[in-house]
Amino acid sequence: MRRSGLLLPLVLFGVLALVPGLRAAGVPLGGFWPLLLERVIVFAIAAMSLDLILGIGGLVSFGHAAPLAIGAYTVAILNEANVTEAALVVPCAMVAAGVFALLTGAVALRTRGINFIMITLAFAQMVFFAVSSLADYGGEDGYTLFSRTRVLGHDWLGANNFYVSALVVLFGVWLLLRMISLSRFGRALAACRQNRVRVRALGLDPFAIELVAMVIAAMICAVAGVLMANEAEFVSPAYGGWQRSGDLMVMVILGGIGSLHGAILGAFVVVLAEEGLGRLTQHWPLIYGPGLILAVLYLRGGLAGIGVRRG
C-alpha cells in the first residue's frame, strides 16, 4: 500500500477553491486562469479514474480517451435529440462507457503486458474512427452543442457555474475513488497488481476484480467526458484520439501513480504545458516532448511522490 497523507490533496483542493472563493469575496476574476483551471479540473477527473486501473490495478490502459469520447458524444447525440437534462445524460453516458469497458475489457484482460497496451489502444482507436464517421454529428469536424446540459433544470453547468460544479464533481470523485481504494475491493485490486497468482490462491478472481475496476474507471471517465463537452460546448473525435489517451497517462505518471490526487497535479502540469507553452511558441511540443522523456527517465514517483516513500 502507498502511504498517502491528506495534506497535499487538501492543499490542492484549497488552491482550486480559491477561484470561486475570491469571486464570492467580490474579486472580479475572469479570463485565462479560471478557464484554464476548469480544463485542469475536468482532465483531473478523467486522469484520476485512469489512476484507479493504472496506478492501483497496475493495468496499463492506453485507451482511456475512449470513455471520455463516449461521454462527450452522449452529450452531443442527446443534444441533437433535444435531451439536455443531466439526470438523463449522465446515466446514459455512464452506462454506454461501462458497457464498452465491459466488452473490450473482457477481451483485453485475457492478455497481459504489451498485448494489453496495444489492445486497449486499438479499441480506443475503434471508438475514434466510429465517432469520426458519425456524419450526423459533424463527422471529423466535430459537433457544436445547441445548449449546455442542465442539472434538474438548473443552470449549474452554465459558463458562470461550471467551475464550482466541476470542482464539486472532482471532489466527489476523489472521495469515491479513495473509498474504493481503501475498501476490500481496492485492496484486492492492488493485490492483483502485485501478484495475481496469490490473489487466485486466496480464492479471489483477479479477472473479475480487474474487469469491475475497468468498468468503474470508464463510468467515472464518462462523467469527465460529459463535463468536457459542456465546458467547450463542442465535441470532436479528437476527444478519443490516441494522443488524448497518452496525455491522460502522462498526467497520472507525472502527478504520481497510484496517489489519486496526483492526477490533479499531473492535469495541471499537462494543461499548463499545452496552453502556457502554446502561448510561448507554436512549436511547444519541442519543449513538452523532451520534458516528458526526461521526466520518465529521471522523475520516478511523479510530482506527488516527491518526499513520499513508496513501499
Cα separation, 299 vs 276, whole angstroms: 21
Distances (CA, A) of 240 to 22, 134, 149, 212, 226: 35, 14, 20, 22, 13
Q: What residues between 288 and 307 interact with another protein by CB under 8 A?
A: 288-293, 296-297
| Binding status of residue 208 toward another protein by CB under 8 A | no
Partnered with residue 234 across adjacent β-strands are 144
Helix, coil or strand: residue 257: coil
Residue 158 touching another protein (CB under 8 A): no
Q: Crossing angle for the helix pair 206-232 and 162-182, nearest 10 degrees?
A: 170
In SS3 terms, 167-186 reads as HHHHHHHHHHHHHHHHCHHH
- 286 touching another protein, by CB under 8 A: yes
Shortest gap between Cβ of 38 and another protein (angstroms)?
A: 24
In the complex, least distance from residue 161 CB atom to another protein, rounded to whole angstroms: 35
State which of residues 20, 34, 138, 246 lies at the interface with another protein (CB under 8 A): 246
The whole-angstrom separation of Cα 304 and Cα 264 is 10
Task: Write the binding mask 58 to 97 for another protein: x where contact by CB under 8 A, - elsewhere.
Answer: --x-x-----------------------------------
CB of 246: closest distance to another protein in angstroms?
5
**Minimum CB distance to another protein, residue 124 (Å):** 9
Nearer to another protein, 171 or 242 (CB): 242
- 154/283 with CB nearer another protein: 283
Q: Does 125 bind another protein (CB under 8 A)?
A: yes
- Kindly state whether residue 230 participates in binding another protein, applying the rule CB under 8 A: no
Q: How many CB atoms lie within 10 A of CB 30?
A: 8
DSSP state of 81: T
Identity of the residue, 8 or 119, whose beta carbon is nearer to another protein in the bound complex: 119
Q: Using the minimum distance from each CB to another protein, give the nearer residue, 90 or 251.
A: 251
- Segment near another protein (CB under 8 A), from 65-73, 82-90, 112-120, 143-151? 112-120
Rg (CA), the chain: 19
Binding flag, residue 101, another protein (CB under 8 A): no
Q: What is the DSSP string of 226-246?
A: HHHHHHHTEE-GGGGSHHHHH
Q: Residue holding cell 476574476?
A: 29
| From candidates 26, 30, 31, 113, binder to another protein by CB under 8 A | 113
User: Backbone phi, then psi, for 226, in 5-degree steps?
Assistant: -60, -45
What is the torsional sign of CA 230, 149, 75, 120?
positive
Q: Considering beta carbons, is residue 41 or 253 the nearer one to another protein?
A: 253
Per CB under 8 A, residues contacting another protein are 54, 60, 62, 104, 107, 110-111, 113-115, 117-119, 121-123, 125-126, 129-130, 132-136, 242-243, 246, 249-250, 253, 257, 283, 285-286, 288-293, 296-297
